[in-house]
Structure 1
Amino acid sequence: MLTYIGILIIVIGLLSLLTKPIMGTTKFTSWATPKRSLQIVLLGLALSILTGAFFYAEPGTAYAVQYPWGGQKAVFRQGIHTKMWGRLIPIQFELPIKYVIPNSNGELGEQSEYANVDDAKYWAFSDAVKARIATSVVIGINTDDENQFLSVADRNKTEQNMIRSRIIPNIDQSIKNTCKLMDAQDYISGQASDFDRYFKDQLENGMYVLEEYSENQNREIIGDSSTVRTVMNKESKQKRFRIQLRNGEPVREKGNSLKAYGLSVIQAVVTEIDWEETFDNRLQLQKEEVAQTQLEKQQAEREFYRAQKEKARGEADKAVERARLEKEQIQKTIAAETEAKVAEFNLTKEKKQYEVEKFKALSKKVAADAESYKNAKLVSAGLTPQERAEWEYKTSVHVARELKDLSLPEIFIEGSTSKTNDGNLLQSLIGADLAKKMMDSKKE
């Protein structure tokens, strides 16, 4: 800019020198003396020399300086640098390139002055659905290799020429190849991130070599296993493409890469997609179908949980009834066990009582034997006729009463078999008892 101003000042100075001889003496020519005209020319020359020898490098911009004698250099730092009337090729460190979908008024919206903005184009996916795809791409230049930068600047001449002839064709080819790899339905069903990944990878490393293939139709079983049919896809006539692989790596087109120009992809994303109207209508129908499916699914789940609730309630009632019956069973079992233990205790008690009575009878027997022996000794010692008569009388009077009250042992074991005893055992016992009674009555 200063160069043009300097040239303009030089022209004005020269004109002021020529006007006086031509126009004569006027108010202007009287002011424009030869001295002043010469000063104006010298000022213009100074400005021209200054602007031609130096330039100001803006921040964030790289400059290729090409000298008139054929040399060149790269400037990556901001500030004042020499150019010695050479040519400048400025290129930004980062080049924003955007495809934008216009609004209803055909406007692209507010954009940065440093960004290269174009209208989004229509692209066809593999299922022939078309859409305008808005992208945001940021390309970075190589500021580490000065020779490569100078080569790129020399071949492209200007930044705009590099964007239009090198970068944008690669962006378009990447979008086109990526659209061939998937259906529009696949994109909206979760493969949007794959689209961005394929798009950026091709921009940075080169375009994929695609190959056409045919999908195998799956045999579908209808009803029982004996009825089988093949369902044909409505879109089976559409061409299908996939990435050609070699040793597990994608095959790429040679020489079609931004890396060859020392450019790197900093960002490459799809910001918006405007589908064609027919696909929008199909999407709306799908959304309604999905909503209806979700509603039916919720209803089915509600019925399922209601059935589960009833089943749980029945299980709870069964558990309560089972607990009640088990409680009754336990009560009856405990009562039966208690009755059995009581019967067992009573049997033990009866056995003990029998033992006691048995020993009591044996004790009485021993005592009766002793008394009988004593009375027999007294009788054998001799009684007077009067005592014998009294003894017989009392015996005859009290024998019936004493026999009534007489307690004899239930069990008697006789240990001797001798027959020399005087009288039998019963007589001995009765006699012993009667003798005891008579002795007691004498003492009274």
Structure 2
Amino acid sequence: MLTFIGILLIIIGIISIILKPFLKDKKTFDWFTFQRSLQIIAAGIILSFLTGIFFYAEPGTAYAVQYPWGGQKAVFQQGIKTKMWGRLIPIQFEIPIKYVIPNVEGKLGDQSQYAYVDKARQWEFNDAVKGEIATSIVISIDITDEKQFLSVADRNKTEKNLIRSRIIPNIDQSIKNTCKLMAAQDYISGQAADFDRYFQDQLENGMYVLEEYSDNEKPEIIGDSTVVRTVPNKESRQKRFRIKFEDGEPVRVQGNSLKSYGLTVVQAVVTEIDWEETFDNRLQLQKEEVAQTQLEKQQAEREFYRAQKEKAKGEAEKAAERARLEKAQIQQTIAAETEAKVAEFNLIKEKKQYEVEQFKAKSKKLAADAQAYENQKLVSAGLTPQEKAEWEYKTAVGVAQQIKDLKLPSTYIEGGKSGNDNNLLQSLIGADLAKKMMENKK
């Protein structure tokens, strides 16, 4: 801009000097004196001189400065720099390139002076399905190697030429090769990430060498043993390609990569694909089929869980009944054990009571024996026959009364044999009479 203004001032100054002698009578040109014309020419020369020496380097842009005498240099920092009437080749640090699908009005959307935007092209996948592929790509230049940058700038002259002659052909070739590696059905079935990976790898490191192959797929047989018809796989008739490998590494086309120009792929993704109408119709049918399948699957799952619920309910009822029966069984068992323990306790109690009554009977018998002995001593001491008979009568009555009042156990054990209370009484009486007979003998 300053150069244009400087040249314009020089032209005005020269014209004013030439026309001044012919327009002496015109008052309009009185201001254009010879001295002022020279000043205008000098100002134009100064402006042209300054713009030829200096230039302003914008941020984010690298400059290759080529001097008139054959030298050149690279400028990577912003600010006012010298160019000494040299030629400038500006190239952005990062070059955005976008392929977009036009809208309904045929427009490509928002444009930018710093981005290259073009209409998406139509490409064919290996199953013959076509689609317009929209991509977003960012290419970065190498600002650490000044020599390589100057070589790229010198060979391509301008940034626009670098994009059109080097970058775009690589992008197109990468998309074409990647489309050969997969079918459109594969892309929409989950291989979109693989497409982006193949695309970026080829763009940066070089194109894959592809080799054709066949799957030798057998036709599908539909029907039973009586009616059989084969359905050939139409896709198997399409040409299929795969990456050629040697020593575990993909074989690439030599000398055809952005890396050889010092360019790095920062981003390379597919943002959208506009499939042809026939494929869209097929996708719609597939979506409807998938939706129907999902619905049937949900219904089947609902029935399954309902059956599981009924089964769980039955198991719960069985568990409750089992718990009830086990509880009743435990109650009966505890009752039986309790009854047995009570019976055992009662038996022990009866045995203890028998022993107590037995000891009581022995105690009373000893008391009666002692009383009889005492009476005998009294008789021996000099009782009259009448007193002796009376005493013996009273003693016998007392003993009988004690024996009558004696409560013996209904059952007793003697010498390992059991008996009733009558036997016990007879035994006790017999023992007493035997003792008296012994004493009378004496």
TM-score (norm 2): 0.79
Q: Judge conservation of contact 1:368–1:433 (CA < 8 Å) in 2.
A: no
The residue number in structure 2 matching 1:132 is 132
- Alignment correspondent of 1:339: 339
CA distance change for structure 1 residues 369 and 249 in 2, over 3 Å: closer, same or farther? same
Aligned to 1:199: 199
Contact 1:369/1:432 (<8 A) preserved: no
| Cα distance in 1 for residues equivalent to 2:63 and 2:390 | 171
5 Å-filtered alignment, 1:133-282, equals 133-215=133-215, 217=217, 233-282=233-282
In structure 2, the residue matched to 1:352 is 352
TM-score normalised according to structure 1 size: 0.78
Q: CA deviation at 1:218?
A: 8.0
Name the SS for the 1:235 alignment partner.
helix
User: Residues of 2 paired with 1:166 and 1:247: CA distance?
Assistant: 30
Compute the displacement of 1:361 (Å).
5.0
Aligned length: 416
Q: Taking structure 1 as reference, are residues 411 and 135 closer, same or farther at Cα in structure 2, changes over 3 Å only? A: closer
Aligned residue type for 1:177: N
Distance verdict in 2 for CA 1:159–1:72, change over 3 Å = same
CA shift for structure 1 position 52: 3.0
SS of 2:265 mapped into structure 1: strand
Give the distance between the partners of 2:389 and 2:42, measured in 1 at CA.
199
Worse overlay, 100-109 or 145-154: 145-154
Which whole-Å CA distance do the structure 2 matches of 1:335 and 1:208 have between them? Answer: 90
In the alignment, is the contact (CA less than 8 A) between 1:217 and 1:231 conserved in 2? Answer: no
C-alpha separation between the residues in 1 aligned to 2:405 and 2:78?
148
Any conservation in 2 of the 1:219–1:229 contact (CA below 8 Å)? Answer: no
Query: 1-side partners of 2:371 and 2:20: how far apart?
Result: 195
Report whether the alignment pairs 1:83 with 2:89.
no
- Does the 8 Å contact 1:220/1:230 carry over to 2? yes
Q: Is the 8 A contact 2:221 2:231 kept in 1?
A: no
1:98 corresponding residue in structure 2: 98
Residues 275 and 411 (structure 1), Cα distance of their counterparts in 2 relative to 1, 3 Å cut = closer
What residue in structure 1 maps to residue 52 of structure 2?
Answer: 52
Q: CA deviation at 1:429?
A: 4.1
Alpha-carbon separation, structure 2, partners of 1:355 and 1:167: 122
The residue type paired with residue 343 of structure 1 is A
> Percent identity of the aligned residues?
75
Question: In the aligned structure 1, how far is the partner of 2:55 from the partner of 2:324?
Answer: 103
Residue pair 2:222, 2:231 contacting (<8 A) in 1 also: no
Give the counterpart letter for 1:160 in structure 2: K
Q: For the Cα contact (< 8 Å) 2:97–2:136, is it kept in 1?
A: yes
Q: Quick one: structure 1 residues 219 and 377, their matched pair in 2 at CA, closer, same or farther if it must change by over 3 Å?
A: farther
Assess if the C-alpha contact under 8 Å between 1:96 and 1:116 holds in 2: yes
Query: By how many angstroms is 1:214 displaced?
Result: 2.6
Q: CA deviation at 1:103?
A: 0.4
Higher mean alpha-carbon deviation, 299-308 vs 160-169, is at 299-308
Q: d(CA) in 2 for partners of 1:217 and 1:295?
A: 32
Offset of residue 250 of structure 1: 1.9
How many angstroms does 1:57 deviate by?
Answer: 2.5
Distance 2:44 2:197 in 1: 56
Contact 2:219 2:232 in 1 (8 A): no
Equivalent-residue separation in structure 2 for 1:83 and 1:388 (angstroms): 173
**Which residue number in structure 1 is paired with residue 109 of structure 2?**
109
Report the CA distance shift for 1:12/1:346 in structure 2 as closer, same or farther (over 3 A): closer
- Structure 1 residue 61 corresponds to structure 2 residue 61: yes
Measure, in 2, the Cα distance between the counterparts of 1:77 and 1:389: 160
Report if aligned partners of 1:97, 1:115 keep a CA contact under 8 Å in 2. yes
Letter of the structure 2 residue corresponding to residue 27 of structure 1: K
Paired residues for 1:402-417 under 5 Å? none
Are residues 433 and 76 of structure 1, via their aligned partners in 2, closer, same or farther at CA, if it must alter by over 3 Å? same
Distance 2:29 2:285 in 1: 87
Change (3 A) 1:358 1:138: same
Q: Describe the shift of the 1:375–1:166 C-alpha distance in structure 2 as closer, same or farther (beyond 3 A).
A: same
Rounded Cα–Cα distance in structure 2 between residues aligned with 1:286 and 1:71: 64
Specify the code of the residue in structure 2 equivalent to 1:114.
Y
CA offset at residue 212 of structure 1?
Answer: 2.1
Give the match's secondary structure for 1:74. strand
- Residue of structure 1 equivalent to 2:321: 321
Confirm or deny: 8 A CA contact 1:94 1:138 kept in the other structure: yes
Tell me if structure 2 keeps the 8 A contact 1:368–1:429.
no
Map 1:379-418 → 2, pairs under 5 A: none
Shift of 1:247: 2.4
Deviation at 1:233, TM superposition (A): 3.6
Contact 2:220 2:233 (C-alpha < 8 Å) held by counterparts: no
Structure 2 partner of 1:438: none
Range moving further from structure 2, 71-80 or 154-163? 71-80
Instruction: State the alpha-carbon separation in 2 of the partners of residues 120 and 47 from structure 1.
Output: 45
Structure 1: distance between partners of 2:107 and 2:414: 137
* Structure 1 gap segments, 5+ residues each: 414-424, 435-444
Secondary structure of 2:235 counterpart: coil
Partner of 1:307: 307
Structure 2 distance, partners of 1:108, 1:251, is 37
How far residue 14 of structure 1 moved from its aligned partner, in angstroms, is: 4.3
Q: Is the 8 A contact 1:63 1:74 kept in 2?
A: yes
Contact kept? 1:371, 1:432, Cα under 8 Å:
no
Query: Secondary structure, in 3 states, of the residue corresponding to 1:305?
Result: helix
Offset, 1:56: 2.7
Asked if structure 2 preserves the Cα contact closer than 8 Å seen for 1:125 and 1:179, the reply is yes
Q: Given the superposition, is the C-alpha separation of residues 387 and 109 from structure 1 closer, same or farther in structure 2, using an over 3 Å criterion?
A: closer
Deviation digits for residues 33-54 of structure 1 (CA, Å, limit 9, x no counterpart): 6555555544444443333333
Distance of aligned partners of 1:30 and 1:319 in 2 relative to their CA distance in 1, 3 Å threshold: closer
